[in-house]
Chain A
Amino acid sequence: MIMFNFAFNSFSEAILMESQNGQSHGIYVWSVLLIVFLCIFMTFFFYKNKIKKITKKFK
């Protein structure tokens, strides 16, 4: 069983993620990745900002 083996031969192949049925699935995978990272990043930013604002009031 090979655990680590690059599934794509080039950068463009990895971006397009063309499947054996000829469909390119890259757009779906990358858009989900972008949404997940944006949501996580924005939530961190939102709460860091809120904590900063409320602690300023105490000082």
Chain B
Amino acid sequence: MIKKFIHQFASPKTYMFQVNRAYPYIFYFSVIIYSLSVFWGLFLTPEDFVQGNSYRIIYLHVPASFISQSLYLAMAIASAVYLIWKVKLSVYLVRSIAPIGAITTFIALISGSIWGIPTWGTWWVWDARIVSTLILFIMYLGLISLHDSFNNFEKADKFLSILVIVGSVNIPIIKMSVEWWSTLHQPASITLSEKPAIDLVMLYPLFGSIIGFAGIVTCLVILSSKFQIFRREKNKSWVNDYV
């Protein structure tokens, strides 16, 4: 029954029609939320007592960092769905998310490095959090290269899904790195179990920027997945009707 349900609602054709309808709403909503939240964070929040005004990078760095890890988790779930139920759309999504994940991880690394200059006095340290994030970035690039190196799509999809699941071990390492090792990177300011270590005046725009950035990234994944579906389903009759 689950298999029937997934196959019915996760066909590339249904997906394309559904996301096309949702795309403009997600796009305008997330652009407005992200712009307002970043403006709020950059101009309307007070200066941080310890870090001064450099802390404002948090409104750009944290959303990118959070989303880069979330995208990998989404890839791991989609890979499992592909390996268990053989849903083609899920592996198209895995391949579509990988480049967007690489870009968000790149933003997280670059913004973190620039933030490190005024805060730590250096742009790079071989710190557990930073190195595990760098590994995530390399993994994203490696997954894209691996998939593109095969001529046979079926083989490529299978290897990609397995490798994504194996690589997901890095996500809890990134998350817990600041707890397990003594690092220069500060521990998480927001956790599910404890009261946030950040003042509410600074926290609200941070939530807004995370939601807005997530929406923008969703739009990028939709575009990337549309391209993948066109590429993979080019011989299907519905694609010509759709175009």
A51-B100 Cα distance, complex, nearest whole Å: 16
Once the chains bind, are A51 and B230 in contact (CB under 8 Å)?
A: yes
B231 at the interface (CB under 8 A from A): yes
> Provided the pairs A28-B54, A31-B114 are in contact, do residues A6 and B223 lie with their beta carbons within 8 angstroms?
no
A28-B118 Cα distance, complex, nearest whole Å: 8
Cβ contacts B192-216/A at 8 Å (1 or 0 each):
0000000011001000000000001
* List of B residues within 8 angstroms of A8 by Cβ: 43
Once the chains bind, are B243 and A1 in contact (CB under 8 Å)?
A: no
> How many interface residues does B have (CB within 8 Å)?
43
A28-B57 Cα distance, complex, nearest whole Å: 8
A21-35 interface (Cβ within 8 A of B)? 21, 23, 25-26, 28-29, 31-33, 35
> Provided the pairs A32-B61, A39-B103 are in contact, do residues A18 and B110 lie with their beta carbons within 8 angstroms?
no
Dominant SS at the A interface?
Answer: helix
B234 at the interface (CB under 8 A from A): yes
In the complex, which residue of chain B has the Cβ closest to the Cβ of A13? B53
Give the size category of A's interface with B: 35 or more
A45-B167 Cα distance, complex, nearest whole Å: 30
> Provided the pairs A39-B107, A43-B220 are in contact, do residues A28 and B117 lie with their beta carbons within 8 angstroms?
yes
Question: A residues engaging B (CB < 8 A)?
Answer: 1-8, 14, 17-21, 23, 25-26, 28-29, 31-33, 35-36, 39-40, 43-44, 47-48, 50-51, 54-55, 57-59
Question: B residues engaging A (CB < 8 A)?
Answer: 38, 40, 42-47, 51-54, 56-57, 60-61, 64, 100, 103, 106-107, 110-111, 114-115, 117-118, 200-201, 204, 216, 219-220, 223-224, 226-227, 230-231, 234, 239-240, 243
